Amino acid sequence: MTRRFRHMLPLLLLTAGLAACGGGGGGGGSDSGIAQRTLSWDPPTQYTDNTFISNPLLELKEYWVYVKTDNTSFTPLDDYVVVTAVDPGTNTLVTSFDLRLAYSGLSLSKGTTYYVAMRAVSTTDTASDFSEPSPAFHF
């Protein structure tokens, strides 16, 4: 039986200035003319069968961060960037991502309104359901 993660609770923090990315990868480099938009979240702690994740550092592989112009019907066919779940330098769970790193890779535009949804992916390649979409934001 395949166990699926419970939803994560994403919270899009709209911040400006310099801040360290919590690890991860994906997307192209950031453009200094693009405003920082940091997505932060609480990682899943249980599977949908209510079994607790005993060791998230070993059970979580990555997060898929989906960005699109409407907040309805995110699907696996939508564009996304991959964020590594564990920072290899600190061996801690990644819980934030600077969306500027996805700007070029997802062909995002300044002034366009976007929404984000996420999925957690286990080391056995099982993806969670989509999180609730983030509040609207733009670069």
3 state SS for the chain: CCCCECCCEEEEECCCCCCCCCCCCCCCCCCCCCCCCEEEEECCCEECCCCECCCHHHHEEEEEEEEECCCCCCCCCCCEEEEECEECCCCEECCEEEHHHHCCCCCCCCCCCEEEEEEEEECCCCECCCCCCCCCECC
Report the predicted TM-score, pTM, of the whole model to 2 decimal places.
0.79
Domain ranges of the chain: 9-122
Question: What are the pLDDT digits (tens) for 87-126?
Answer: 999 999 999 999 999 998 899 999 999 999 999 998 988 8
Nearest-5° Cα angle at 130, 63 to 99: 50
Residues 6 or more apart from 92 whose CB is under 8 A from it?
A: 23, 57, 86
> What is d(CA 124, CA 126) in angstroms, rounded to the nearest whole number?
6
Q: What percent of the chain has pLDDT over 90?
A: 37
Q: Token pair for residue 120?
A: 């957690």
Most confident stretch, 7-16, 22-31, 86-95 = 86-95
Q: Residue 33: pLDDT band by 50, 70, 90 thresholds?
A: confident
Q: What residue has token string 């898929």?
A: 64
Task: Round the average pLDDT of the chain to a whole number and report it.
Answer: 79
pLDDT value at residue 76 = 93
Tell me the mean pLDDT in the region 1-11: 58
Contacts of 62 (CB under 8 A, 6+ apart): 82, 83, 84, 85, 121
Contact between 122 and 60 under an 8 Å Cβ cutoff? The reply is yes
Mean pLDDT (whole number) for 25-46? 70
Give the separation between CA 26 and CA 116, rounded to whole angstroms: 15
Mean pLDDT, rounded, for 46-62? 87
Q: What is the pLDDT of residue 7?
A: 55
Fold of 9-122: Immunoglobulin-like (2.60.40)
Q: How confident is the model at residue 20 (pLDDT cuts 50, 70, 90)?
A: very low
Per-residue pLDDT, averaged over 38-58, amounts to 85
